[in-house]
Amino acid sequence: MNNQYKRTLVTTALPYANGPVHLGHLAGVYLPADIYVRYKRLQGEDIIHIGGSDEHGVPITITADNEGISPQEVVDRYHRMNLDAFERCGISFDCYGRTSSGRHRDTAQEFFREINAKDIFVKKKERHFFDPEKERFLSDRYVTGTCPICSYPEANGDQCEQCGTHLSPRELINPKSKLSDKVPELRETLHWYFPLGRFQERLDSYVQSHEEDWRPNVVNYTRTWLKQGLADRAITRDLHWGVPVPVQSSEAAGKVLYVWFDAVLGYISFTREWAEKEGSPDLWKEYWQSPESRIIHFIGKDNVVFHTLMFPAILMAWNEGRKDGIYSLADNVPASEFMNFEGRKFSKSRNYAVYLGEFLDRFPADTLRYSIAMNYPENKDSDFSWLDFQNRTNGELADTLGNFFKRSIDFTKAKFNGEIPCDCSDDDWNALGIDWKKSFEKLENAYNRFHFRDAAALTMQIARSANRFLTESEPWKEIKTSPAAAARTMALSVNLCHTLAVAWYPVIPHTSNRMYAMLGFDQTLDEAIRTGRVSWDMAMKPQLGKGHRLSGGSDILFRKVEDRDIAPELEKIERLLAEVEKKEADGDQTASIKPEISFDDFQKIDLRVATVTDCEKVKKTDKLLKLQVKLGSGHRQVLAGIARSYEPEDLIGKQVVLVANLAERKIRGEHSQGMILAAEGNDGKLHLVEVGGSDVNGKTVQ
């Protein structure tokens, strides 16, 4: 880690403007980034937070086609919806841009031109599916057909919804165009590829140099890719929605930049946009092109290699041979694991989610921020549940922090006329039972190392100590026996309130602002931090002296979450879970019986007993196993989508049923010579049809 930096640029993964953001997104990316940025602002550091909507790509055009509106209308809707939800949640972006903007188009095209001029791209002629009726090339998602793995008849060209296998359109059986239902033709088209392999060595040493400071999951995942060797990656598509390929020739007509190339450049174009708004158009260079700056990308684990390999490679390609305008590479890429929801993965397609905007219609942002910070999926998947949310809000925020704050303010108002009755001595402050130096060192360390759950828990520790101090001092008794002792207790308590207002700011900023206002300040806490009037270090020492006046108001910081508040949510979960489970269970049964075939047709299928001799997982997939089987005196290689149901070594020696005369197919670049029969059990796992007993290898099954 470079500790000599002068300024920091934080970016957050661009949410795809084809749907609302849900709590899983918030937990993995936006909340941790916001906590970090707010902490650094409180430390007085120069830091900006850049984010925005990813507005290009095929799923958006599909939504537009389905709804009969333009892609622009789709992205306008979700851009507004997500920006609004983020604002209400207090995610403090310095700029929240859009990849459909002119500034972004210019930036992305500038990158393409620069790299193209250096002849780094590779051009390849290839055959893609083309819809002859609509006269359009078909992106993977626009092709549908039967899955070669599980025979699901409506698999997408990129993935089968039923078995989850990633596919390419040409692997589908009986492919069809989604636009016209017609059988697509293969036509030749030209595409630009980015040769990632050319940067392999440079990427290797880049990753090596961060081995110590990056999270182990980030390093390991990136290394897996590096070990497999980096292949060329297409950066253009035949599509009408996106940044046009900036080449003045007919071969670029109708082509746009592929979103993986386009979207990451949004970080740069949005920073430029921010600089323009600041009235200093070159200011962005100080963040992107200065060795004194530091760049941090907050992302989810599904985005790691785009940020540790692909984006750095694009920047390396830009930097190649240049003397100025050199881009810096990210200093850290804190990728989170996933946060699940009531024990299951969030799923937009199954509507199993809580959307951020909907949540904030019902509950205050800070209760969510706190609850999620305490469940931050830092190095393993975590879980959000309504009961945990209720317990944390009531037991921790309301009963500990809220209760302490209210008692301190109310008692000072009632007995000391709303004024701090005396100064706090250092000795008294240090005798509160809080090791100020040690706890703040721990807190700073937690924030700097992205341990946000620790940071929230440590801050709650301070609130607990404060609450205990007030309870044990019993100022309501002291006031009768020794008013001076009560005065001392309240001076300390109100100063602890100030400490907590400042220390909680990164995690629950709305509450901190309210606390600050009730402590009697006219300026908001946000403003006080921006102008340098309040800083992190001030939380360690008493700041409010004798005579400081509290404001007139005092309301409770947190309303408790009652059972009746979450009852509808729990009911909804039950309903959603039932629907999800039904869908999963129905997967096979409701797939209606296929059209009748004749006995002769059936006779064409040659089913044989084959024996598994060897088996391994197929790289980069979590569903596929590669089996070697013996069939009579011959050998076959067969791919089967059963990796989630069987360990490779369990299969060796088994006698299975093979469709022996199925045309050979290529799946994930591997040959598959036949298909093995399996049935899905109620446990959701696939069970192979096995032939027990003696060795009957090669026999016909009928």
Stretch that binds Zn ion, among 106-114, 159-167, 321-329, 350-358 (CB under 5 A): 159-167
Beta bridge partners of 617: 625
Which secondary structure element, helix H or strand E, spans residue 686, and what is its range?
strand 686-688
- For Zn ion, the closer of residues 117 and 663 by Cβ is 663
CB of residue 258 to Zn ion, shortest distance in Å = 25
- For Zn ion, the closer of residues 167 and 496 by Cβ is 167
CB 439 within 8 A of CB 375: no
CB of residue 301 to Zn ion, shortest distance in Å = 24
- For Zn ion, the closer of residues 163 and 365 by Cβ is 163
Determine which residue in the list 31, 149, 409, 651 makes contact with Zn ion, applying CB under 5 A. Answer: 149
Stretch that binds Zn ion, among 148-156, 414-422, 538-546, 647-655 (CB under 5 A): 148-156
Stretch that binds Zn ion, among 11-19, 142-150, 367-375, 615-623 (CB under 5 A): 142-150
Compute the distance between CA of residue 12 and CA of residue 647 in angstroms, rounded to an integer.
37
Compute the distance between CA of residue 635 and CA of residue 610 in angstroms, rounded to an integer.
9
CB of residue 149 to Zn ion, shortest distance in Å = 4
Residue the block writes with tokens 């270090």:
537
CB 246 within 8 A of CB 204: no
CB of residue 164 to Zn ion, shortest distance in Å = 7
Compute the distance between CA of residue 52 and CA of residue 78 in angstroms, rounded to an integer.
11
Stretch that binds Zn ion, among 143-151, 479-487, 496-504, 642-650 (CB under 5 A): 143-151
CB of residue 293 to Zn ion, shortest distance in Å = 47
Compute the distance between CA of residue 569 and CA of residue 451 in angstroms, rounded to an integer.
30
- For Zn ion, the closer of residues 150 and 639 by Cβ is 150
Among positions 409-468, residues that touch Zn ion (CB under 5 A) are none
CB of residue 587 to Zn ion, shortest distance in Å = 10
**Residue 23 in the binding site for Zn ion (CB under 5 A):** no
- For Zn ion, the closer of residues 160 and 515 by Cβ is 160
Strands 607-617 and 670-672: unpaired
Q: Which residues contact 427 (CB under 8 A, 6 or more apart)?
A: none
- For Zn ion, the closer of residues 162 and 236 by Cβ is 162
Structure tokens at 371: 């609850």
- Return the closest-CA partner of residue 105 out of 235, 250, 262, 233: 262
For residue 376, the 8-state DSSP code is -
**Residue 162 in the binding site for Zn ion (CB under 5 A):** yes
**Residue 338 in the binding site for Zn ion (CB under 5 A):** no
- Return the closest-CA partner of residue 438 out of 540, 590, 531: 540
Stretch that binds Zn ion, among 161-169, 432-440, 516-524, 569-577 (CB under 5 A): 161-169
Structure tokens at 259: 């979103």
CB of residue 148 to Zn ion, shortest distance in Å = 8
Residue 190 — φ and ψ, nearest 5°? Answer: -105, 135
- For Zn ion, the closer of residues 162 and 293 by Cβ is 162
- For Zn ion, the closer of residues 46 and 158 by Cβ is 158
CB 334 within 8 A of CB 296: yes
Stretch that binds Zn ion, among 35-43, 145-153, 314-322, 500-508 (CB under 5 A): 145-153
560 backbone φψ class: left, alpha, beta (φ>0; ψ -120 to 50): beta
CB of residue 18 to Zn ion, shortest distance in Å = 23
- For Zn ion, the closer of residues 156 and 412 by Cβ is 156
H-type alpha helices, 97-171: 102-117
Compute the distance between CA of residue 636 and CA of residue 613 in angstroms, rounded to an integer.
10
Stretch that binds Zn ion, among 12-20, 160-168, 214-222, 401-409 (CB under 5 A): 160-168
Among positions 586-625, residues that touch Zn ion (CB under 5 A) are none
**Residue 150 in the binding site for Zn ion (CB under 5 A):** yes
CB of residue 188 to Zn ion, shortest distance in Å = 29
- Return the closest-CA partner of residue 138 out of 151, 148, 125, 129: 129
CB of residue 242 to Zn ion, shortest distance in Å = 29
CB of residue 146 to Zn ion, shortest distance in Å = 9
Q: Counting runs of H as helices and runs of E as strands, what totals does the chain give?
A: 26, 25
**Residue 147 in the binding site for Zn ion (CB under 5 A):** yes
Stretch that binds Zn ion, among 140-148, 391-399, 557-565, 689-697 (CB under 5 A): 140-148
Question: Is 402 buried (19+), middle (13-18) or exposed (0-12) by CB count in 10 A?
Answer: buried
CB of residue 504 to Zn ion, shortest distance in Å = 49
Radius of gyration over alpha carbons of the chain, in Å? Answer: 30
Binding-residue total with Zn ion (CB under 5 A): 7
- For Zn ion, the closer of residues 110 and 154 by Cβ is 154
Distance from CA of residue 670 to its chain's centroid? 31
CB of residue 165 to Zn ion, shortest distance in Å = 5
- For Zn ion, the closer of residues 162 and 412 by Cβ is 162
Q: Which residues contact 625 (CB under 8 A, 6 or more apart)?
A: 615, 616, 617, 618, 639, 640, 641, 642, 643, 646, 648, 651
482 by DSSP, 3-state: which?
Answer: coil
- Return the closest-CA partner of residue 288 out of 318, 323, 330, 260: 330
- For Zn ion, the closer of residues 147 and 491 by Cβ is 147
Determine which residue in the list 10, 74, 95, 160 makes contact with Zn ion, applying CB under 5 A. Answer: 160
Exposure on the CB side of residue 12, measured as CA atoms within 13 A: 29
- For Zn ion, the closer of residues 153 and 195 by Cβ is 153
Stretch that binds Zn ion, among 40-48, 157-165, 365-373, 667-675 (CB under 5 A): 157-165
Among positions 377-406, residues that touch Zn ion (CB under 5 A) are none
Site string (34-63) toward Zn ion, x via CB under 5 A: ------------------------------
H-type alpha helices, 536-619: 563-589, 599-603
- For Zn ion, the closer of residues 51 and 674 by Cβ is 674
**Residue 152 in the binding site for Zn ion (CB under 5 A):** yes
- For Zn ion, the closer of residues 493 and 621 by Cβ is 621
List % helix, strand, coil for the chain (3-state, nearest 5).
45, 20, 35
CB of residue 16 to Zn ion, shortest distance in Å = 24
- Mapped to the 3 state alphabet, what secondary structure does 491-545 carry? HHHHHHHHHHHHHCCCCCHHHHHHHHHHCCCCCCHHHHHHCCCCCHHHHHCCCCC
CB of residue 665 to Zn ion, shortest distance in Å = 13
The residue ranges that bind Zn ion (CB under 5 A) are: 147, 149-150, 152, 160, 162-163
